[in-house]
Structures are given as C-alpha cells and as structure tokens.
C-alpha cells in the first residue's frame, strides 16, 4: 500500500484503521484548469496522484486524495502567507462552507475514485480570535486555512457529513473503493497479499 500524500493527517487515519502503508508523495500540478469546477478539480487531483504513483509502483495499491474548501464558489487552497490565512479564516467566520475530499485507489491499470461533500459551519470569530488562531501556525499547510482536528476544532460550530473527509481522507469511501478493486477489509491490517477474487 502506498499513500501518495505527505499529509500527516492522512497517515494517521490509515494507521487508525490498520492499513499499513508507505508514503510516497506524488508530484502533480495542482493548479485549477480553466473553467474547471471544484468537484471535478478535486477528483482529478486525487486520481492523478494515485495514477502517477501506480505507474511507478505497478505492484502496489496506491491511495491518492485531495481536499478543497469552497465558499461562494471559490476554492480556498493553502494560504500563501499569514495575511492570506487571516483573510481566509475571516471569510469563513460565522458562515457555512463546503469541504470536498476526493479519494482514489489505483492498481493493475485501474483507478477508482469518489468525492465526499461535507457542510461545515464556523462560529463567529472576532479579529483577535482569528489572529490568535493563525499565530498557532496550524492554518499554514491546510486548505481553507484551518484544521478541524487541531486548534481549528474550536472554530467549528457544526458539520454535516463525514468528519474524516474534513480531516482529509474519507475512510468509509476508501474501504468501498478498495472492495470494488478486489480487496477485502476485515478490521485488521490490509496488504497487497490480501487481494481477493473480483
């Protein structure tokens, strides 16, 4: 099993459900194509990451994932700097946005994928709270400038959907895709050797 991501959250989630894996971040262009809508963009990146590593490691099962935060139709990626992080969190404050996380699995020339959509509502934050949160450094490597599993949990009033998708890897959808690819999950570590009959 290869995780085509350097995200520590995704590594933690795979470990949480006993999927032993190696980490090999995929080098793909993450820019948005002209006229590309958020969901197709997110799914394309997950598929590109999985496919790229699957070509390089043909005997492996490769997991790719991508998470984006969308508000007012705009994709909020990782902040460029402190000011950008403050602007993003300010924009999310007191409002509801959507987190889309795509996951893809690739093996044997086949790539399967799906996207989870989660509605997230932020508490209303004042300027001092926003600056204090950004000063923790947590927002700087996260889409939408927050992490729900860290200090950012305080900012979230409610979520409607898969919590793990907001963290960066929808576990239920992942297991479904692995099953569709011919692998079984039995609440124990999975390896390539566990591949069953399609």
* Residue 121 CA: distances (Å) to CA of 40, 73, 112, 149, 191: 23, 16, 30, 15, 38
Q: Which residue has tokens 């390539």?
A: 192
Q: Are 68 and 43 in contact (CB under 8 A)?
A: no
Question: Bridge-partner residues for 183, per DSSP?
Answer: 195
Q: Which helix (H) or strand (E) holds 105?
A: strand 96-107
- Residue 114 DSSP class: E
How many CA atoms does the CB half-sphere of 128 hold within 13 Å?
Answer: 0
Asked if 66 is an active-site residue, the reply is yes
Of these residues, 29, 48, 66, 162, which one is catalytic? 66
So which residues are the catalytic ones?
66
């Amino acid at each position: 099993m290869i995780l085509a991501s350097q995200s520590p959250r995704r590594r933690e989630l795979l470990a949480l459900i006993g999927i032993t894996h190696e980490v090999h971040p995929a080098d793909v262009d993450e820019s948005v194509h002209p006229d590309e809508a958020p969901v197709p963009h997110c799914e394309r990146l997950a598929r590109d990451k999985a496919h790229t590593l699957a070509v390089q490691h043909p005997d492996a099962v490769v997991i790719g994932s991508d998470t984006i935060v969308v508000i007012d139709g705009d994709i909020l990626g990782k902040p460029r700097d402190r000011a950008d992080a403050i602007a993003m969190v300010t924009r999310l404050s007191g409002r509801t946005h959507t987190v889309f996380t795509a996951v893809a699995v690739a093996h044997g020339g086949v790539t399967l994928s799906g996207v989870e959509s989660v509605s997230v509502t932020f508490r209303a934050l004042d300027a001092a709270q926003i600056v204090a949160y950004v000063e923790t450094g947590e927002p700087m490597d996260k889409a939408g400038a927050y992490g729900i599993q860290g200090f950012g949990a305080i900012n979230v009033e409610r979520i409607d959907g898969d919590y793990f998708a907001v963290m960066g890897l929808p576990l239920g959808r992942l297991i479904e895709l692995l099953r569709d690819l011919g692998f079984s999950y039995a609440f124990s570590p999975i390896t390539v050797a566990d591949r069953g009959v399609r």
